[in-house]
Amino acid sequence: MIKIEHSVFALPFALLGMIWAVGWPGARVFTLIVIAMVTCRSSAMAFNRIVDRSLDAANPRTSMRALPAGLLQPRHANLFFYGSCALFFIAAWALNPLAFALSPVALGVTLLYSLTKRFTPLCHLILGLSLGIAPAAAWVAATGALDWRIVPLSAAVMCWTAGFDILYSLQDEEFDREHRLRSLPETLGKPKALLVSRALHAATVVLLGVAGWAVGAGMLYFLGALLAAFVLVYEQSLVKPDDLSRVNLAFFTLNGYVSIGVFAFALADRVV
């Protein structure tokens, strides 16, 4: 039900926030950050599958997911959800007082996304926010304090996530309209929703540049951000209003390259 690649989008940016905050924080803090990230994301994914199981069953694209297909029982998903939440709070408590104090906010935002399609077409931005707080959360985890310098990176991740989520939701435009669910493709139609996605990805590139400037990153980081920009341009070129055959390539594969690639260049920049 929950795949490890579901954490590959936000985790590299969380680790980037950690590196920009303190460099290497030690094995204990690093391990706790990874546990907190994965369990928070797993909680959100499990909650999404639980609350949407009837919708997933009605949608041909998602009808073979574990819950609607009967591969898992709701009690199993609920056990996984509550266990992930508990591990997340334990990890936050073990990090520092501010991380623990803010942990309900972080978890609340990630869970809220699953409900937003029922009442707002801006649900993509809520998903973006849930991943966008990852770098700031890791900064707090590593330092025990907030700092404005991580805000541009969080904003970049928010815009990047919202942009690719719009692409993914193009597949469900008709289903969403029939079942009174909200999304930008349902509200604006595919062509205009694509324009919004492209604007968000353009903003992502700008914000990645601002983020590097804010922390005094070197040329290797900016090279990684430039390569991410080219990947995003290619990603957008794969999806057209009348051709969604390559959405999965654009959504899963290329966005994994963006997150891991930016992190790898930022790490190399920090080492150099």
CA distance 205 to 239: 19
User: Would you state the pLDDT for residue 253?
Assistant: 83
Distance in angstroms between the alpha carbons of the first and the last residue of the chain = 40
User: Would you state the pLDDT for residue 3?
Assistant: 74
User: Would you state the pLDDT for residue 125?
Assistant: 97
What residues are paired with 243 via a beta bridge? 240
Instruction: Supply φ then ψ for residue 243, to 5 degrees.
Output: -145, 100
User: Would you state the pLDDT for residue 252?
Assistant: 76
CA distance 224 to 212: 11
Torsion angle of the four alpha carbons 231, 254, 164, 238, in this order, in degrees rounded to the nearest 10: 70
CA distance 212 to 187: 35
Residue type (1 letter), 271: V
Residues in the chain: 272
pLDDT by residue for the chain (272 residues), tens digit each? 877 766 778 999 999 999 999 999 999 999 999 999 999 999 999 999 999 999 999 999 899 999 999 999 999 999 999 999 999 999 999 999 999 999 999 999 999 999 999 999 999 999 999 999 999 999 999 999 999 999 999 999 999 999 999 999 999 999 999 999 999 999 999 999 999 999 999 999 999 999 999 999 999 999 999 999 999 999 999 999 888 888 887 777 889 899 999 999 999 999 99
pTM over 0.75: yes
User: Would you state the pLDDT for residue 228?
Assistant: 97
Around 27, how many Cα atoms within 13 Å sit in the side-chain half-sphere?
0
User: Would you state the pLDDT for residue 249?
Assistant: 76
What domains can you pick out in the chain, each with its CATH number? 4-271 (1.10.357.140)
Which residue, 117, 200, 126, 129, is CA-closest to 158? 129
CA distance 40 to 26: 21
User: Would you state the pLDDT for residue 78?
Assistant: 96
Cα dist. 13→17, 116, 137, 258 in Å? 6, 24, 10, 10
Cα dist. 239→174, 179, 195, 220, 244 in Å? 17, 24, 11, 30, 6
User: Would you state the pLDDT for residue 105?
Assistant: 96
User: Would you state the pLDDT for residue 193?
Assistant: 96
What residues are paired with 263 via a beta bridge? none
